[in-house]
């Protein structure tokens, strides 16, 4: 974890968006364990508050909550108000929305919400928090992405496209902001054992990891690379799908893998 310790002076506070449970709660836990206070953001107030109270007591740090729908147009203003006066040196965007099945079988409102949460949300977070990091010449931004974004994803078309955006955004910002002391990382995760994944898929895919394994792999990559893919199986899958197979073949494989997903 030495790579992450170099980022500890980046401010006493961290922000985690999408923090109510699962992977987001694991992010809050990992940062609180390292002595950071956390502003935890989530859409559902009750599990968010339960997570905050449990981890604040366990790690003796302050964990504030902001119950907010990241798809709302006013999210950036609410984030600004909640973070006012806090020196925020670490920002994690873990929030995501997805639906499965053929794109045109869903109303356009589903795709719009996905864009709002998965695309507009991280941009709003970055514009709100990163300028102060640039001014201080230190900071860390972690964007949670997905192997689904490495190629087309029939049955997950909009989600896969949004995660391709996330990965590219992180790579670009890593190059833009590293010279001014701000480190940006995309964690390109495979399947993670979260309540949402269990409800949608219902079974472990090859390479499925626990949330804490994903978080620790991301933290270990800070300061060394723009992209981290946690897990040996997932690293191999990413290599094969991105570098070895033709993209049409990789897309067809993804289509077969998502056929059994429950519609949501």
Q: What is the pLDDT of residues 24-80, one digit of tens each?
A: 999 999 999 999 999 999 999 999 999 999 999 999 999 999 999 999 989 999 999
Residues identified as active-site: 159, 163
> Quick one: DSSP state of residue 205?
P
Q: What is the pLDDT of residue 172?
A: 98
In the chain, which ranges are E strands? 13-17, 37-42, 63-67, 88-93, 139-146, 182-189, 227-228
Query: How many Å from the N-terminal Cα to the C-terminal Cα in the chain?
Result: 37
Per this entry, what is the length of the chain? 264
Q: Is the pLDDT of residue 195 over 80?
A: no
Task: Read off the pLDDT of residues 132-190 as tens digits, 9 standing for 90 and up.
Answer: 999 999 999 999 999 999 998 999 999 999 999 999 999 999 999 999 999 999 999 99
Percent of the chain surpassing pLDDT 90:
75
Structure tokens at 185: 């990382």
Task: Read off the pLDDT of residues 15-25 as tens digits, 9 standing for 90 and up.
Answer: 999 999 999 99
Distance CA 222, CA 138 (A): 13
* pTM, to two decimals: 0.90
């Amino acid at each position: 974890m030495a790579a992450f310790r170099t980022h500890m002076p980046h401010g006493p506070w961290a922000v985690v968006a999408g923090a109510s449970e699962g992977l987001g709660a694991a992010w809050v836990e990992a940062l609180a364990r390292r002595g950071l206070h956390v502003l935890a953001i989530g859409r559902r107030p009750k599990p968010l508050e339960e997570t905050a109270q449990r981890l604040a007591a366990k790690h003796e740090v302050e964990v504030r909550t902001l119950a907010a729908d990241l798809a709302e147009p006013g999210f950036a203003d609410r984030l600004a108000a909640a973070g006012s006066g806090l020196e925020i040196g670490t920002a994690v965007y873990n929030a995501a929305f997805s639906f499965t099945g053929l794109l045109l079988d869903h109303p356009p409102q589903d795709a719009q919400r996905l864009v709002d949460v998965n695309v507009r949300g991280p941009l709003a977070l970055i514009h709100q928090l990163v300028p102060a990091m640039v001014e201080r010449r230190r900071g860390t931004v972690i964007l949670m992405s997905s192997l689904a974004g490495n190629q087309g994803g029939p049955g997950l078309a909009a989600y896969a496209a949004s995660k391709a955006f996330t990965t590219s955004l992180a790579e670009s910002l890593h190059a833009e902001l590293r010279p001014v002391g701000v480190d940006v990382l995309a964690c390109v995760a495979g399947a993670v054992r979260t309540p949402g994944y269990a409800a949608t898929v219902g079974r472990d895919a090859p390479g499925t990891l626990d949330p804490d394994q994903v978080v620790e792999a991301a933290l270990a990559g800070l300061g060394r690379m723009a992209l981290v893919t946690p897990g040996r199986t997932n690293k191999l899958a990413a290599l094969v799908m991105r570098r070895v197979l033709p993209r049409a073949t990789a897309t067809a494989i993804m289509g077969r893998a998502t056929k059994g997903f429950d519609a949501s």
